[in-house]
Structure 1
Amino acid sequence: MMDMDADAFESLVVDELDQLPDEMVDGLDNVVFVVEDRPEDGSLDLLGLYDGLALTERGRYGMGELPDRIIVYREPHLDRCADLAELRDEVHTTLVHEIAHFYGIDDDRLHELGWA
């Protein structure tokens, strides 16, 4: 397991988010990115989570809605990665995967595209 404190990991996530193509992030509406240590169940299996209403389902989405969240879990990433380069790559993949869920792309399609 890699060792990286929460602040350093959050900075890495922000760096990777900044490197994503503008076309991918410009359409994000009412979404916040959050870094947490682990999922609620305490497992190390889940790297990220999209918690919200996909863009394709927002016909009933209205003003005053709480922001959707894209959560990146620190400890599962550190458990899975052997070095910084691998960690950056995995965080990048997690961000793309969870942003895709915002756009309404499901896991089956993400597997087809190589992002799952």
Structure 2
Amino acid sequence: MEKTLATSHTKRSSPPSPSSAVNTSSTGFNRRTRQRLSDATASVSETDVEDEDEDEEGVEEKIEALQTIVPGGTELGVDALFEETASYILALQCQINAIKVLTTFLERCEKKDMKFGG
């Protein structure tokens, strides 16, 4: 039970290539394509530069705002400002927690006074 594969030795003709079928001038096409690509690249790079400038201005404005919020921030450099900001946030959180504890304590004291008629 041997299987044999039949192979065809006939030569197939390949379809003509597009470049041989139609004689086109590729230099004009390449020139136009290069021009479009260079125009697109130039417009992208210009917008990238504008975006970077806007980003830098936005960052500088935010740093200046942060310097006005954090006590002593106007005297600090950027790195020290960020460290001081982190410390300041932690201090504010501690103050908030202390106020919450005090208000809870005072509310309980008021409830006790009301129970005893005082």
TM-score normalised by the shorter chain: which range applies? under 0.3
Higher-strand-fraction structure: 1
Question: Taking structure 2 as the reference length, what is the TM-score of the superposition?
Answer: 0.23
Greater length-normalized contact order (CA 8 Å, ≥ 6 residues apart): 1
Structure showing the higher helix proportion among its residues: 2
Please identify the structure whose Cα radius of gyration is greater.
2
